[in-house]
Each structure stands twice: as structure tokens, then as C-alpha cells.
Structure 1
Amino acid sequence: MLDALRNAWKIPDLRKRIKYTALMLILFRIGTFVPVPRMDPNAVRAMIEKGALLGFFDIISGGAFKQFSVFAMSITPYINASIIVQLLTIVIPRWEELAKEGEAGRKILAQYTRYGTVILGLIQATGLSIGFRSAMKPGILSNIVVVISLTAGTAFLMWLGEQITDKGIGNGISLLIFAGIVSRIPASVYQLYALTKVGTINLLMLVIFAILGVVVIVGVIAVQEAERRVPVQYAKRIVGRKVYGGQSTHIPIKVNAAGVIPVIFAMSILLFPSTLAGFFPNSKVMTSIAEFLKPSGWLYAVLYALFIVFFTYFYTAITFNPVEVADNMKKYGGFIPGMRPGRPTAEYISRIMNRITLVGALFLAAIALMPYFMTALSGINISFGGTALLIVVGVALETMKAIEAQMLMRHYQGFLK
């Protein structure tokens, strides 16, 4: 591992990319301490501690939300816009054609995503300015300044992420989220140390937490990398005196193809009523619904798991089309051994995908519910939850593979032997 890192640092272009990525991430962290004008950070912090969903956004933004800095919304409007554009490519035929046109089509869809990011950023910033109006100086000017500051901060982060993707290492947007979550680890470690010092947590419980954390990380890596390889054989074609095809390959079907998106969707839906109730404290209806769906209740845990399973199947279905895969195989003379091309092949791939997706969905539900069970057993609020762990491990693997690819291009041995 250390030899691979030293070899990576010896490559001038790779060293330049690593330095550029580190510089952009430092710039991101500096921006999290730039406050939004005309806001009272202490009042905002008190309101955030009452809302579970707002606390999750604070983890994603690396503490910028609780400080209500210009990066308070983080990159969430961009993520939402990307998901919406990806969903609309299935619905709008023109967008589906653009997705299949290669680099030129992807650039147009990326531009649509940028427009959507700004629009969603304006909507979210307006909602935050209304929700946190008690922490804002009076006057319409305050609303305008807050909305513009938050939207501009999100647009800058979007640009920052794209620059890291183009000139740095790995996916820039993912690395920004990764940096935000990792920046909270020292505070969490200090919190555990303080609780251990006062006797709230004994040493044995701390060791159990550490062992459980290592086991979960290993499990996340195993499931993230796990895939079912469906064998595919291509028939030989003779054109003139040359023979084409005849090779064997496979279709990789990942166990967790949806990533962490189902968890975010499920959490956003279930915690929205409690967040909305915080904005309308005098509404008895909203307060009753929020109390009914409080995160510590059993109903929340059951609905949370069911929503995760549903969204895992839903997102996998719209991103992986077995009929399209079977048609492409048939077009180029490919077939699965023992299966007829066309509809039987599509049904076979669909059955495999459904079984594999169920394993991934149950794993996501278990990881997402893990902090709630640990909190119930230990009585300690676990802030660094399963969702954050999934994101951190996934981005770390993705970045490692990006460095690996750069090193293998230059004939160096990478991390994986």
C-alpha cells in the first residue's frame, strides 16, 4: 500500500492531480466557515438540533449547515437535479436519445443538470429563508441576501466539483460529500473520549464499538464490490477471410447497484414531517404526525426499512433495463449459454437482478438501521450513522480505483495485486 502511494507520488501528472484535488478540498473547508450575512448562527444551531433531517444535512455539509455558512445547502441541489435528469431520460424520448449519443449528448444533459441545480437551489434557499425567518434580521433585504448567498454557494460547489473531476482525481461531487462527512470524525471521536472520561461509556463498550465498526466497514466494502457475472458467448462471424467474434465475456450485475440513493430517499420522506413541524410549531396536526413518526419509534424503523427496499428496486429498475441488454446482445450475436436470445434472455436476467437486488436492499436497510439499534442498546446518540459510512467507503473505493487506473496506464503496480 505504502509503496503504491510512493509510486503514485513519483508520477508528475498524478502528483499534480492529487495536489489540485487537495487544494480544492481545502478551499471547500474554508468556505464552510464563511457565514451568510444577516443571520444569527446561534438561533439557527438551536433550530437544527430539533430537526433530525436538518441534522443529517449538517453531516453531509461537513458542519456548514449548523453554522449556516454560504455552503449550508452543500451539493444536495445538484444531487437532486442529477437524479431528476436521470429519471427524466427514461420518460422523455429526446433526453433518452441524448443519453445514447455519447459525449456530446452527455454534455447537453450535464448543462440541463446545472440549470436544474440553480433552480432547485433557489427553491431550497427560499424555503430555508422562510423556515429560519426567526433567526434572520427583519426586512425583505435579508431574505434576498440569504437566498442569493445560499444559491451562489451551491453553484460554486458545483463548479468546484466539476473542476476536481476534470483536473483532479476521482469524482469531484462525491469527494466534496466525502470531505464534509470525514471532517466530522474528529468531533465524534472527541465526543466518545469525553463520554468515556466521565464514565458514560466504559472501556469494554468502546472496544465493542470499534470492533463492530471494522466489521461493518469490511461488510460494506464486500457488498459494494460484490457482483453476479452472467456468462455471455458471442457467435463467430466470417467476413471474407477474417473471423470475428467467438469470445466469451460476462454481464456484471452489482449487488448494490443503487448505492446510497435509496437510503437518502427513504430518510427524506420519513423525516420531512418532523422538519415541517419545527417550522410550524403551532400546528397540532403537524406536531401529531411528527410525534407518530419520530425516529426513535418502532413504526419509523419498519417504514424506513420498507422504503429502502422499495427505492432500491425502483432505482435499479430505471438504471438497468434487462430488455435493452437482451436486445443489444441479440443484435451483436451474443447469447447466454442455455438460454434463447430475446425475451427468454431478458426474463432470465430480470430474475437474477431481482434476487441480487433483494440482498442489496436488505443490506442497505440493515446498515441504515444500525445506528438506531446501537443507540437503543447503549443509550448513546450515534451521530456517524450507516448512511455516512456507506458514502465514505463508496467514495474511498471509487477514488482508489481512479488512482489505480492512472498508475496502471503508466505500468506501475497499483493497490490491488
Structure 2
Amino acid sequence: MKKLFTTLSNIWKIEELRERIVFTLIILLVYRFVSHVVLPGVDPTALDTNEQSGLLGLIDMFAGGSFSRVSVLALGVMPYISASIVVQLLGIAVPSFQKMQKEGESGRNKLNQITRYLTVAITAVQAIGYIKTQVPVEAIMIDRTLFYVLSTFVLAAGTLFVMWLGEKITDKGIGNGVSLIIMVGIIARLPIALQQEISSRFVGEGGLIGLVLEIVALFAVVMFTILIVQGVRKVPVQYAKRIVGNRQFGGVRQYIPLKVNAAGVMPIIFAQALMFIPMTLTSFFPSLQNTWLIQFSDYTSLTYCLTFAFLIIAFTFFYTAITVNPTQMADDMKKNGGFIPSVKPGLATSSFIDDVISKITFPGSIFLAIIAILPAIAVKFGIKSEFAHFYGGTSLLILVGVVLDTLQQIESYLLMRHYDGLMKTGRVTGRTGIPAATGSNAVI
């Protein structure tokens, strides 16, 4: 405990770190305050406050409940995330985007500008669909045509405002701004979910012992998730030794950290989007509700869980294949005079890296599928749906990843000022905290 208070005191002593943390907290408070502002012309008492499910529930979770509240920030950062994914995929398939990725800072600025423009276009389309499907007609208090036009502009401005807040946190705060905003939206639902779970346990079955067992199980799941997020396969790389004058260059042995879960949360997001298709079909064609498609409306059913797990495994291999390029890694290594011991440079190195990635991606995809269906398993054990979402899925992976990255940045400030780090046994390593000889950036 003394070590903890000493570390917190050291954090507060560093003026730059203190200012960054305070700035981050202020921005997050502003975001939470604005997220409760309802769209102009909407009667809040006429809104349906029931919990969203499927893809809509995922969007509502990312937006911190703003989606179901019909807030000015209802769409949150989802359009920005969608635009970022599209630009990233274009960087793999389109040569002009590949060229911009290799142009350094100027290329990144161009890609960021394209992402912003694409965010505006996606937000405009999603805003129209959101207004027509999520805002009840009886809740609109002004002229309907005027409301549609006004709300489209307001929702687009709200998404750009959230994106601006995230960029401000990244520049002047601590951690990744967009990721922190998503994390705060997820955590905002935890107190209500925990209160509901406590009430159900003491009113119904289980009592205090059942609640304690749930907390212990949640702690074990979080530890398991951290192992998956942090798991890497270290491929040793040796650099050729060169002697220039009286100085020696190279000759250093490093390693490439190939992540067990290189795809991050993207396979779950993609799979969840596909799992929403059967529910959409049954809503448009009521005659299909009597078919086997109705099983996909219950995320705790065996059919849903097995299909969901299979899609996650498939998308994990797909997304890893398009984001991790063994050929480029082998070429970069060869240009810098590096080689893997007992493996020839060039094609043999590329094949070796590809084989290692394939071997570690399979167990990684299995573990990711297990984490994704854990909320359904938790519901089957009698845990309330709201609280069960914290036992796995996208929310848990985002929480673990963002917390680790933020702690890594705080520890970097401490170590630069010659203070002890956060961990007594070793340094905190986030998704980008492992030194690498070469490799690709992780995706949140």
C-alpha cells in the first residue's frame, strides 16, 4: 500500500504528467455532460429506454448510452472508427494509399484528412437511418421535415465534436483519445449494471456468496484477457556487425514480437455485424420469424454462439493476414542487415514468419472466440444481461487494452524522471510497448 501511495505522489510531482491527466479528466467530463443533451425537438419522456441488442447494442455501448437516449452525440465515434477501417483497408488494396502510408508524417496527415472527410459522409448516412429508425414519431415535437434536416446536421456535428475531443486528448492529454472516450462510455454503464446485479442477488437467489463468486469469476476472466492481449511470440533477429573506423555498428540481437491476438477486437466487431443480418431479415420479412433464423435473435442460443465463434475465428485469420505482412517484414529486415538465426534472408524468412503467425493465430482466435461468447455463458449461469457484458466481448477487450496502454504512458513519464515504475516486478507493456526490430502497428 505504501508503494502505491508513493507512486501516486510521484505522478503528481511531475508537472507535465499532472497537467495531462487533469486535462484528460476535464475533456472526459465535458464528453459525459454533452452526451446527456437530447436532440433539439425531441421529447425525452416519449423515448423507448429499453436496452438495445445486437449491433445497435454494440453502438450504444460505444456511445456510452447516448444512442438510446437520442443524444446529440448518439452516433459517437462509430463513424470515425468505420472510416478508419475503410482507409486502413484501402491502404492494403489501393497503390495510391500504400504510397501515402510510406510518405511518413506528410502521408499520415493526408490519410487523416481523408479519414475526416469520410467520417462526415458516413455520419450523414448513418444519421438519416438513425433518425428514421430510432426516434419515435410521437417524440418529435416540431415539424418532421425540419427535424430530419436539423438532426442530421446536429448528429454530424456531434460526431465531429467527439472526434475533436479525442484528438485533443491524444495531443495534450494522456493515452489515446478515441479509445479513452469509448472506455469511459463502457465504464459509465458499470455502476447501474452492478447495482442491478446486487439487487437481483439479494432479492432473488444466490445472496452474498453468489455475488462474491461472480466477482471472483470476473477477476479471473480479466486476468485471462490480459494474458491474451499481452501474449507475444518473440522471433529472434540478429543484425550483422559492421566496423567503421574504431566504432562497431550492429551486431545486436533483438526480436520481433508477433502478437497472439494481432487482430485486436476487429474480428468480434465484424462478426457481430454479420450476426445482425438474420435479425434484420426477420424484421423486414415477418414470414421468416417461424424459420431457423429466429434462433439468431437470442445471443445465448447454441446456434448463435457456435456461428459467432466460427465467424470470429475466420475473421481473425483474415484480418491478421491483411494487416501483418511477412514479406514486407522480411524485406525491411534484409535492408537493415538483419536476419533470423538459421533462416536464410528473403523468401525463407518470409515463409518462416508466415508459418509462425499461422501457428499462433489459431490458438489466439480460439481464445478470442471464447472471450466473445463468455457473456452468453454468464447469462446462462443466472447473471443479469447488463452485468454479463463485462465478462467478455468487445467491451472487456477494449477496457483491458486501453487501460494497459494508458498505464504504459504514465510509467514512461515516471521512468524518464527516474522514479520507480507502476509495477514492482517489471515494466508495464501495452500493445505498442514491446521493442521490436520491425513489424506493424496494432489496431485498436
What letter corresponds to residue 129 of structure 1 in structure 2? I
**C-alpha distance 50-412 of structure 1, shift in aligned 2 (>3 A):** closer
> Which residue matches 1:157?
162
Distance 1:276 1:131 in 2: 15
- Corresponding letter in the other structure for 1:413: D
State the one-letter code of the partner of 1:298.
L
1:5 corresponding residue in structure 2:
8
Greater mean deviation of Cα atoms: 375-384 or 123-132: 375-384
Deviations along 1:303-355, one digit per CA (max 9) or x if unpaired, are 10011111111221122100111111112221111111111111111111111
Aligned residue runs from structure 1 range 248-259, under 5 A: 248-259=253-264
Once residues 178 and 35 of structure 2 are traced to their aligned partners in structure 1, the CA distance between those partners, rounded to angstroms, is 16
Note the residue ranges of structure 1 that are not aligned, 5 or more in a row. Answer: none
Match in the other structure for 1:28:
31
Q: What is the deviation of 1:275?
A: 4.9
- The residue type paired with residue 66 of structure 1 is S
Superposition pairs of residues 321-360 of structure 1, within 5 angstroms: 321-360=325-364
Is 2:236 the partner of 1:234? no
Per-residue CA distance 1:124-157 (angstroms, 9 max, x = gap): 1111112135345352111112211211111100
Aligned residue identity for 2:307: L
Corresponding position: 1:262 with 2:248: no
Question: 1:175, 1:297 → 2: CA distance?
Answer: 32
C-alpha root-mean-square deviation of aligned residues, in Å? 2.0
Q: Deviations over 1:243-264 (max 9, x none)?
A: 3221111111011111111111
TM-score under structure 2 length normalisation: 0.88
Deviations 1:175-212 (A, max 9, x none): 00010011111101110121123124433321221111
Provide the residue aligned with 1:45 in structure 2: 48
Residues 3-402 of structure 1: pairs in structure 2 closer than 5 A:
3-46=6-49, 49=51, 51-132=53-134, 134-135=136-137, 136-137=139-140, 139-239=144-244, 242-275=247-280, 277-278=282-283, 280=284, 283-285=286-288, 291-294=294-297, 295-378=299-382, 380-381=384-385, 382-386=388-392, 387-402=394-409
Measure, in 2, the Cα distance between the counterparts of 1:101 and 1:372. 45
- Secondary structure at the aligned position of 1:293 is classed as helix
Quick one: structure 1 residues 50 and 162, their matched pair in 2 at CA, closer, same or farther if it must change by over 3 Å? Answer: closer
Letter in 1 for 2:409: A
Q: 1:13 to 1:249 in 2, by over 3 A?
A: same
Instruction: Return the TM-score normalized by structure 1.
Output: 0.94
Distance 2:57 2:401 in 1: 21
Distance (whole Å) between structure 1 residues aligned to residue 289 and residue 78 of structure 2:
25
Separation (CA, whole Å) in 1 of partners of 2:24 and 2:5: 20
Deviation at 1:356, TM superposition (A): 1.1
CA displacement at 1:228 relative to structure 2? 0.8
Distance (whole Å) between structure 2 residues aligned to residue 89 and residue 304 of structure 1: 28
The one-letter code matched in structure 2 to 1:407 is L
Q: Distance in 2 between matches of 1:25 and 1:70?
A: 16
Q: Which runs of 5+ in 2 are unaligned?
A: 425-444
Aligned length: 414
Deviations 1:87-135 (A, max 9, x none): 1101111211211222221111111111111111111111111213534
User: 1:202-236: CA deviations, max 9, x gaps?
Assistant: 33321221111010111111221111110011112
Q: Is the 8 A contact 1:54 1:275 kept in 2?
A: no
CA shift, 1:284, in A, is 2.9
CA distance in 2, matches of 1:342, 1:224: 30
Report which stretch shifted further, 127-136 or 247-256.
Answer: 127-136
Give distance in 2, aligned partners of 1:94 and 1:52: 36
Which letter does structure 2 place at the counterpart of 1:291? I
